[in-house]
Amino acid sequence: MSRDQNLKLQWEEVRDNISDKFGGGEKMDIDSIIYLIGVQELGKGFQKFSKDAKLDVMHIAICKLLEPFGYYQFEYFDEDGWPHYKVIDELPTLKPGEQSVLMKEAVVLYFENL
């Protein structure tokens, strides 16, 4: 099986498992799953977030997801308990499809390492 086919199967398995638990019967998209990872990494449980705070939560997830790839490194938790990361290596310019593949690969890796 090719690497792309393997990633597709792994992604579908992760998406299906997360969707069954949190999707209310609907298949969740990558952004929703990234948001859930951000909530998990924030460690404050479910709560209502403003639109700006939701983007911050997603940023936490993206940093955590891309940390194993060498793009970010955890620095510290601030006084409110929010994690902060520093940029280690700039992300390359990727086409939208390539961004999607990278994030799906990162999500699969995240759940493999739980």
DSSP assignment of 63-106 equals HHHHGGGTSEEEEEE-TTS-EEEEESSPPPP--HHHHHHHHHHH
Hunting for tokens 């970010």 — which residue is that? 72
- pLDDT > 70: what percent of the chain? 99
Domain boundaries, the chain: 3-112
Mean of pLDDT values over 41-67:
94
Question: For the chain, what is the mean pLDDT?
Answer: 94
Q: What is the pLDDT, as a whole number, of residue 41?
A: 96
Q: What is the pLDDT, as a whole number, of residue 3?
A: 77
Q: What is the pLDDT, as a whole number, of residue 44?
A: 87
